[in-house]
Amino acid sequence: MKDLLTALQAVIAGIAITALIYWLLNLLIHRFPEKIKKKVEPYVFIGPVLFLIGAFIVIPTLQSIRLSFMEEEIDGSTTWVGLQNFKDLFAEEYFPKMVVNNLMWIAIVPFLTVSIGLAIAQFANNVGARSEKIFKSIFFMPMTISFVSAAVIWRYIYAYAPEGQDQVGLLNNIWIKLGGSPQAWFQIETFKFNNLLLMVILIWLSAGYSMVLLSAAIKSVPEDTLEAGRVDGANTGQIFFKIVLPQIWPTVIAVFITVLIGAMKIFDIVLAMTGGNYNTTVLAQTFYLEYFSYGNTGKAMAAVVILILAIIPVMFYQVRHYRKFEAAR
């Protein structure tokens, strides 16, 4: 309870201090001549944020990149080792498998999340307003659940006990009913099956997000374009794929990109479900493991740099997309 009080004090003090900073900066620039004031004032508005972003995101990220070329001694001193950290990381037995896992995450999760979201949005459009609302809440609800809680939830589904013991896992019970013997699902590496089981969790969590955005887009498709299709004798499928889908395509891409970024950075689910064992490890999990468990700063930073490099194209895409959007309005 004392902690909560501290937090509330921090909120009040924080707001007061923030307001004070801006107030003082404002007082200061009002002492400048009008001409200079006009030039400086915008930076008073964005300056504190630029400082925050610089100090906590931009500079540290650049430092991480620098550290990926360094070896760190126990006393904290660093020496330049060139690409050695990357070579060490590439030489790890898990490395090629990890790359395949990451590629699978980004190839499968965004596609399925968008497809399922689209299907739900389309079906929900046909059941009447009241049912639609209830269904949407159900699909959307997992979005508010943390990755760690989701991991707990899905552990009940994938749970395994050796044959002859009580099975509490839903999947194993269904499997046994169908005539199978209990399976340790996370250890099945054939066709990366265990990875797929982890991906199901992210899809379960994010399909609601995709559904909400796509549903809004579907509803904004003008009726007369559909009517024109019907008059021409198009069936439901043709109307959806030839008329609706092209019109909502920008939203489809936007959702796809957002889920793609989430899949690239995937970490908590893997950590909580398998800890990266049974060849389910991914980049962000490797960073965590190498840095916090093994104290391998160099290798951890190399993993981070690869993650950043992978995200940079998406970043450029976002900025370009935004510029186009901005020019259009």
CA angle, residues 10, 11, 12, in degrees to nearest 5: 95
Q: Which member of 109, 204, 229, 282 binds another protein (CB under 8 A)?
A: 204
Structure tokens at 243: 């008329």
Q: Which two tokens stand for residue 238?
A: 């043709």
Q: Which of 220, 238, 277, 293 binds another protein (CB under 8 A)?
A: 220
Q: Which of 106, 108, 197, 218 binds another protein (CB under 8 A)?
A: 218
What tokens appear for 135 in the block? 């269904």
In whole angstroms, give the CA distance from residue 57 to residue 305.
Answer: 14
Residue 166 C-beta: closest distance to another protein, Å: 4
Which segment (10-18, 81-89, 91-99, 190-198) binds another protein by CB under 8 A?
10-18
User: Using CB under 8 A, which residues numbered 131 to 190 contact another protein?
Assistant: 131, 135, 137-149, 151-157, 159, 166-170, 173
Q: Which of 203, 183, 216 is nearest to 260 (CA)?
A: 203
CA distance 260 to 172: 31
Q: How far is the CB of 257 from another protein (least distance, A)?
A: 8
Encode burial over 136-160: b for 16+ CB neighbours within 10 A, e otherwise.
beebeebeeeebeebbeebeebbbb
3-class secondary-structure state, position 80: strand
- For the bound state, the minimum distance from the C-beta of residue 201 to another protein, rounded and expressed in Å, comes to 9
Q: Residue from 32, 123, 193, 241 that binds another protein (CB under 8 A)?
A: 123
Which residues are 78's β-sheet partners? 72
5 vs 91 by CB, closer to another protein: 5
Strand-pairing partners, residue 270, are: none
Instruction: Please report whether residue 319 would count as binding another protein according to CB under 8 A.
Output: yes
Instruction: Please tell me what DSSP assigns to residue 168.
Output: -
- 145 vs 190, beta carbon nearer another protein: 145
Residue 287 near residue 303 (C-beta atoms within 8 A)? yes
Whether 29 and 37 have beta carbons less than 8 Å apart is answered as yes
Applying CB under 8 A, the span of 85-93, 94-102, 105-113, 220-228 interacting with another protein comes to 220-228
Binding mask 75-114 for another protein (x = CB under 8 A): ----------------------------------------
The yes or no reply on residue 55 touching another protein (CB under 8 A) is yes
**Which residues inside 233-292 make contact with another protein, applying CB under 8 A?**
244, 254, 257-258, 261, 264-265, 267-268, 271-272, 284, 287-288, 291-292
Task: Provide the minimum distance between the beta carbon of 66 and another protein in the complex, in angstroms, as a whole number.
Answer: 9
What is the SS3 assignment for 125? coil
Quick one: which segment of 83-91, 92-100, 191-199, 209-217 binds another protein (CB under 8 A)? 209-217
Structure tokens at 253: 């891409």
* Residue (130 or 190) nearer to another protein, CB: 130
Within 8 A by CB and 6+ apart from 200, the residues are 154
Q: Is 28 in the site for another protein (CB under 8 A)?
A: no
What is the total count of residues that contact another protein (CB under 8 A)?
A: 120
